[in-house]
Amino acid sequence: MSYHAPVPSAPRRLRRSRTDSWFGGVCGGIAERFGMSAGLVRLLFVLSIVLPGPQVLVYLALWIVIPRS
């Protein structure tokens, strides 16, 4: 019996999505990076808007900082 060690895959980098993009691809990119549904990430972001805080500013900053894939 031969044992083959799993080949480590390249780490997924955080990038804005080109294929799953509504407004800049930030939520799509986060979903791809963490293996989640883009719809779920968008829903969580929209629900977070109800809470006090700088969510929209964070989204805009991520849009600028995260590179396009």
28 closest CA partner among 53, 51, 11, 45: 45
pTM of the model: 0.76
Q: What is the mean pLDDT of residues 65-69?
A: 88
Residues in a beta bridge with 16:
68
What is the sign, positive or negative, of the torsion defined by CA atoms of 19, 21, 22, 23? negative
Residue 32 inside a domain? The answer is: yes
Residue 44 is part of which domain span?
26-65
Residue 20 inside a domain? The answer is: no
Total number of domains in the chain: 1
Task: Give tens-digit pLDDT for 3-17.
Answer: 776 666 666 788 998
Residue 3 inside a domain? The answer is: no
Residue 7 inside a domain? The answer is: no
Q: What is the mean pLDDT of residues 40-55?
A: 93
Task: Give tens-digit pLDDT for 17-46.
Answer: 888 888 889 999 999 999 999 999 999 999
